[in-house]
Amino acid sequence: MDRYAEPSTRNGIQAEETMTSFNYTRLFTAFCLLLFSLHPSRRPSAFVEADATTSFIQKLCSQTLELDACQNCVSSAPTQNIPRLTYLVLFCMYTGAVYTHEHADQLSQTAMSPGVKQALKVCRSTLFTASNNLSEASSR
């Protein structure tokens, strides 16, 4: 049975489709974590001194997968303006999504294994959508 065939051409059970989707999700998550960990994060040029602002940055960044990268990015532009900090978090997430999308695109073009190629295409598509959503959110 071809696991990567279109669902309409497959004669499988729902559990196998769910498991395949679960495997793609795990692969996508692992791949994104790998690429984000390889991304050269900017070193903070100045740290925000205010406790309230620092705790707000920690609260926002704690909801991301890369806490340190988020904190470094946001702290690189010191401000106590909460809307500005929120914009910085969105911008950091956007640049990370674009960076990872570009790498997933390059890797999907050179992947030899059909399974890896398909997973990278899903990753690329998901990151493209995420970067578009983040771009829209930061322009509001």
pLDDT given for residue 19 in this prediction: 46
Boundaries of every domain in the chain:
11-36+82-138
Cβ-contact 73, 97 below 8 angstroms = no
pLDDT given for residue 34 in this prediction: 55
pLDDT given for residue 85 in this prediction: 75
CA distance 140 to 52: 24
Distances (CA, A) of 136 to 12, 21, 50, 65: 39, 28, 29, 21
Alpha helices, H only, the chain? 14-38, 51-61, 67-75, 82-110, 114-138
pLDDT given for residue 31 in this prediction: 58
Per-block mean pLDDT, blocks of 10 residues, the chain (140 long): 47 47 60 56 45 74 77 74 77 83 88 89 88 81
CA distance 84 to 138: 10
